[in-house]
Amino acid sequence: MKYFIKRLFIFLSIPIVILTVVFIAVPETPRSEKSLLFSKLDKDYLLRNTSAPRLILMGGSNLSFGIDSSMLEQELGITPINTAIQATIGTYYIMDTILDNVQTGDILVMSIEYSQYFGRHAYGGEELLRTVMDVDRSTINKLRPNQWLNLIVYFPKYSISKIKPTEYILKENIEIGIYERESFNQYGDAVVHWGHNHSDFPPYDRIEGRFNHKFIKDLLIFEQQVEGLDATLYITFPGLQETTFQIMEDQIRKVESELIKNGFNLLGTPDRYMITELLMYNTPYHLNREGVVYRTGLLIEDLQAAGIIPGESE
């Protein structure tokens, strides 16, 4: 029996060792290099090299697929940097990695998906693992214990993806995909989908998990850190499909009430950013071109109402 257990242990340990070596040593694949996650490198470059006055947009794809930064610049006289990529990277990573590049006088506008306020969503998922392993390993030390707990489950899938032949065979495609690095413009906005029509898609279900009060406490700490850098944080609400809004309305009200109770600087209301179906693109958080213009107009009005005028903030 001992001999059998020993042989079984050796048999099981071999693939674990192989996957571990692949996880650590094998670099990003050609297919992964084309993904929108690698736009982080371009957005970080903007953060390091864009002069003041600056409007830094933070969040998930509700922002990357929902804002026209050129409109913001034209109307407000301030240079936008859209750092948003995807919600499953997690808000903790977004907060912890942006602080190194915040400058005096920066206006930070956070628009995160409602799921980020519930359960463990803010700690990130598979896309966070791919970001810290493939895109920017220098940020691994930014991860918190709760983030690592979220990521462990994705380790095997990530390692196996590195040895799949399909990750290394790329077909020639002249058109830029909507979820590729090259789909973003000079401000960090995803723009390729602006030329596409509205697609039918199902609404999201209710958000899983309880309201994350710890996240609110950590958001307050982040606000203090931003203010310590002589910058200002505003929180606004994502553009969300009306049908999905109605499904999770009580959860959205909870988010709004907690933000108000904790004294955050808010721009607009959830209802103001509830978007009709024909202004959506392909998910409840992605807007088509007409929706992008509409939502950007709302944000401009809310920023102006908060005292953000060309080149100044009050």
Q: Quick one: pLDDT at residue 245? A: 98
Looking at every residue in the chain, the average pLDDT score rounds to 90
How large a percentage of the chain has pLDDT more than 90? 78
Task: Count helices and strands (H / E) in the chain.
Answer: 13, 7
pTM equals: 0.90
Q: What integer pLDDT is reported at residue 161 of this predicted model?
A: 83
Asked if the model's pLDDT at residue 135 lies above 80, the reply is: yes
- Res 122 pLDDT > 70: yes
Q: Quick one: pLDDT at residue 224? A: 98
The 3-state DSSP class for residue 281 equals: coil
Find out whether 119 and 210 touch, Cβ atoms under 8 Å.
Answer: yes
| DSSP strand pairing (107-111 vs 79-82) | unpaired
Highest mean pLDDT out of 4-18, 60-74, 298-312: 60-74
- The one-letter amino acid code at 277 reads E
pLDDT at 24: 55
DSSP string covering 171-225, please? ---SSPPTTBGGGB-TTS-B-GGGGSPP---PPP-PPPS-B-HHHHHHHHHHHHH
What per-residue confidence (pLDDT) applies to 174? 62
pLDDT digits (tens, 9 = 90+) for 55-99: 999 999 999 999 999 999 999 999 999 999 999 999 999 999 999
Q: How confident is the model at residue 185 (pLDDT cuts 50, 70, 90)?
A: very high
pLDDT recorded at residue 173:
65
Note the pLDDT of residue 191.
97
Per-residue model confidence as pLDDT tens digits over 212-268: 999 999 999 999 999 999 999 999 999 999 999 999 999 999 999 999 999 999 999
pLDDT given for residue 188 in this prediction: 98
pLDDT at residue 311, as a whole number: 41
Region 172-193: mean pLDDT is: 89
Sheet with 266-267, side-by-side order of all strands: 79-82, 54-59, 107-111, 232-236, 266-267
**What are the chain's domains?**
29-305 (3.40.50.1110)
